[in-house]
Structure 1
Amino acid sequence: MSSTRRERVLLAAVIYVVLLAQVLLYPGLGRLVATLGATTDLQPRMWFLGAEFAAFILFVGIWGAVSDATGRRVPWIVVGALGGALGYGVLALLPRLSLASFETVLILRVVQGAATIGAFSLAITMLMDLDGGHGRNMGAAGIAIGLGTAMGAPIGGQLTELSPVAPLYAATVLLAAVGLLVTLVEDRAPQGRRSTREALATIRRTPTLSIPYAFGMIDRMTAGFFALVGVAYFESAFDLSPGESGIMLALFFAPFALLQYPMGALSDRIGRTIPIVVGSSLYGLGIAAIGLVERVEFAGAGMVVIGVLGALLAPATMALVTDVASDIDRGTAMAGFNLFGSVGFFAGFLLGGTIAGAYGYPLAFFVVGGLEVLIAIVTLPAFLRLGLGDVPTVTAGSSD
């Protein structure tokens, strides 16, 4: 196996483990927050998710800027992974220590999220540093994200059946393993120290990054929507258990994961416009349709379809960030992408939960799906005018 391919696999494994740890908590979220001192209602679940993603939003830019400024990635991923492991571990111990006030839980979630986002974002940035084609490298990131989420949902559901805090213990072990695994990868960050302020000026210097950022935000919004509202909808409409809801999520994430790499490579050949714009439009229509079905079989089939469409657009969107950003700005550029993604995830369960609570699930699905279609329509002129979706130039080593 070539050096580039080996490092691509190792970095994808890091991303996979981080996402697996995160998603383990989702299927049994109601039982978990009840064990940690809240109720099983939708609002405590929303705040539990929101605390983590608020930390993602606040700290992801700092991790990227520090990485670019120091010209290092690996040490910061180790710090983030071990800090995340510590956060998950303390959360798991709170009920035994009789310290499970929900306010304390939310503070710990912020700390854990602040650490975890560093490991996640910088691992993707290290894939950006590799040769071999941006679409291929971001396809590897996408398949890791998809597999982590696909496997996290059913495994987390089964762990919850054993104990509501079992997913927290599993996440602790997984994040600690990431801290060790990433040390096997060569640090290829572009050399040259800059101030953190100079690194943070990346987005202002490169306004075209706003386009993949906008898509990333809306795409992650749908993920946040399904993590909270989707699970609640499946439980309410079809009377599913946490384990069964995890399987429903896996119906989306399995094709989403397995098709990421070939779809990313496809975008290297045909450009980004068709995968992003067309994929986003069809993806949004599919989400809206799921909220209208009345049988669980149809809902499951819909999840598979949107999983395929999500695989079409996700790696192309991340690859567009790499196309647009300069080499020395990659850490900050990907941090910005993940920042907007975290805002989107937060908006997904906040907006979706609010609409579903006030007006019902069908309208919530319609609004979230409609926003996907809208962003595709609004940005299409920019793709055509600026040539953002043109077939990219593949760097040396593309055969890897």
Structure 2
Amino acid sequence: MHSSARDRIALAAVVFAVLFSQVLLYPGIADLVAALGADAATSTFAETPLDASMWFLVAEFAAYVAFVGVWGLASDVTGRRTPFIVAGALLGAVGYLALALAPTVGSVSFEGVLLLRVVQGAMTIGAFSLTMTMLMDLGGGHGKNMGAAGIAIGLGAALGAPVGGRLTAVDPLAPLVAAAGLLVVVAAAVSLVSDRAPGDRRGARAVLDSVRRRPTLSLPFAFGFVDRMTAGFFALVGTLYFQETFGVDPATTGLLLACFFAPFALLQYPMGVLSDRIGRTIPIVAGSICYGLGILAVGAAPTVALAAVAMVGVGVLGALVAPATMALVTDIAADDERGVAMAGFNLAGSLGFLGGFLVGGTVAGGAGYDVAFLVVGGLEIAIAVVAVPIFLRLSVGRQSRFALED
């Protein structure tokens, strides 16, 4: 097997492990935060299970937002990826273990738990973002490489949800221990992959200035923001919606989430290759409009079976959009800017997750689940409509412009 193909598989496996560890926590999030001490008597953040779950998820993604750029900039400036990924994975594992041990220390408040969650998130995002940057460094086609990242993300989420539900049934803290173990494996695995980062060292200001001169990066960043907002929405609001509306348990909730993530994962690679052939415009714009309509269909489904079918449809459409959006970042960024460019994309995505948690949680709590689905699905449609003239003017992502690399 060609070394690039072998490294692509290895790096995709690392991305899978990081996402799998993250999603393990989602199906039983309410039980987890309760086990970590979230109750109204001890915390101003936990007046309801929705509040506690929301802030626990927000803490991690706030750390993503704050630190993803630091990791990307450090990588571009030093011309290295691997040491930073190893450090982020190992320190992230320590963070997960600290969370798991927190209930055994009686003096740790829920606010203290949230602080541990911030530290864990700040470390984990380095391993995730820079592994995706290493995929950007590979040849063979940007859509293909980002399709590999996408299938890893989707499979990690698809399998992490049902496994996390099962682990929660055993012990609400079990997903934290499993996540820590996976990140140790990540640190070992990534050290076996060739580091193809451009070796030239550059000053931090030079890297940032170079990226700022590429305003077209704001296009994939914007789509990444809204796409991840929908994912954050389903991770929090969708989980509680399914349990409250249809009366399902965490294990069944995990299976419902898997109805989205399974097709989302399995179709990422072929959809990424397709975007190398036909360009990025159709997959991103048309796919986003249909994706938003699919979200509305999930919220309107009257039975759990129809909700599952709608989740499958949303997963297929998400697979059309995601790899093309990530590939567009690679199309636009220069070789020695990829760490910062991917950090910017993940920053936008992390802000999107935060938006999904905060907007979705706030709207659902104040106006109900129906309005929350309408708001999030409508935003996905709106950004696609607004972006149509921009895509037509720039004609970005055509194969004639972004030729496949050898």
TM-score, scaled relative to structure 1:
0.98
Provide the residue aligned with 2:45 in structure 1: none
1:308-319 alignment to 2 at 5 Å? Answer: 308-319=316-327
How far, CA to CA, are the matches of 1:394 and 1:184 in structure 2? 29
Give the CA deviation at 1:168.
0.3
Give the CA deviation at 1:230.
0.2
Provide the residue aligned with 2:6 in structure 1: 6
How far, CA to CA, are the matches of 2:255 and 2:108 in structure 1? 29
Matched, 1:395 2:404: yes
How far, CA to CA, are the matches of 1:344 and 1:99 in structure 2? 33
Provide the residue aligned with 1:35 in structure 2: 35
| The 10-residue stretch of structure 1 (314-323 or 387-396) with the greater mean CA deviation from structure 2 | 387-396
Give the CA deviation at 1:204.
1.3
| The 10-residue stretch of structure 1 (96-105 or 60-69) with the greater mean CA deviation from structure 2 | 96-105
Q: Is the 8 A contact 1:89 1:172 kept in 2?
A: yes
Q: Is the 8 A contact 1:202 1:332 kept in 2?
A: no
How far, CA to CA, are the matches of 2:381 and 2:405 in structure 1? 36
| The 10-residue stretch of structure 1 (217-226 or 93-102) with the greater mean CA deviation from structure 2 | 93-102
Helix, strand or coil: the match of 2:403?
coil
Give the CA deviation at 1:272.
0.3
**What letter corresponds to residue 26 of structure 2 in structure 1?**
Y
How far, CA to CA, are the matches of 2:24 and 2:37 in structure 1? 19
How far, CA to CA, are the matches of 1:99 and 1:150 in structure 2? 36
**What letter corresponds to residue 31 of structure 1 in structure 2?**
D
Matched, 1:337 2:310: no
Give the CA deviation at 1:387.
1.3
**What letter corresponds to residue 193 of structure 1 in structure 2?**
R
Give the CA deviation at 1:94.
1.1
How far, CA to CA, are the matches of 2:211 and 2:241 in structure 1? 38
Residue-pair matches, total:
397
**What letter corresponds to residue 206 of structure 2 in structure 1?**
E
Q: Is the 8 A contact 1:17 1:174 kept in 2?
A: yes
How far, CA to CA, are the matches of 2:113 and 2:361 in structure 1? 21
Matched, 1:63 2:60: no
Task: From 245, 248, 263, give the equivalent of 1:255.
Answer: 263
Give the CA deviation at 1:197.
2.5
C-alpha offsets along residues 215-240 of structure 1, whole Å, 9 cap, x if unaligned? 00000000000000000100010001
1:220-369 alignment to 2 at 5 Å? Answer: 220-369=228-377
Helix, strand or coil: the match of 2:300?
coil
Provide the residue aligned with 2:218 in structure 1: 210
Helix, strand or coil: the match of 1:52?
helix
Give the CA deviation at 1:394.
3.2
For structure 1, list consecutive stretches of 5 or more residues without a partner in the other structure. Answer: none
**What letter corresponds to residue 234 of structure 2 in structure 1?**
F
C-alpha offsets along residues 299-334 of structure 1, whole Å, 9 cap, x if unaligned? 000000000000000000000000000011000000
Helix, strand or coil: the match of 2:219?
helix
C-alpha offsets along residues 164-215 of structure 1, whole Å, 9 cap, x if unaligned? 1000000000001100000010000012111222222343111000000000
Matched, 1:106 2:114: yes
Matched, 1:97 2:105: yes
How far, CA to CA, are the matches of 1:92 and 1:172 in structure 2? 9
How far, CA to CA, are the matches of 1:201 and 1:38 in structure 2? 43
Give the CA deviation at 1:100.
3.7
Q: Is the 8 A contact 1:15 1:144 kept in 2?
A: yes
Q: Is the 8 A contact 1:322 1:330 kept in 2?
A: yes
Helix, strand or coil: the match of 1:88?
helix
Q: Is the 8 A contact 2:21 2:182 kept in 1?
A: yes
1:101-250 alignment to 2 at 5 Å? Answer: 101-250=109-258
Give the CA deviation at 1:95.
1.1
How far, CA to CA, are the matches of 1:35 and 1:175 in structure 2? 22
Provide the residue aligned with 1:23 in structure 2: 23
Q: Is the 8 A contact 1:132 1:394 kept in 2?
A: no
How far, CA to CA, are the matches of 2:405 and 2:223 in structure 1? 28
Give the CA deviation at 1:132.
0.3
**What letter corresponds to residue 2 of structure 1 in structure 2?**
H
**What letter corresponds to residue 254 of structure 1 in structure 2?**
A
Aligned-pair identity in percent equals: 64
Runs of 4+ in structure 1 displaced over 4 angstroms?
Answer: none
Q: Is the 8 A contact 2:136 2:330 kept in 1?
A: yes
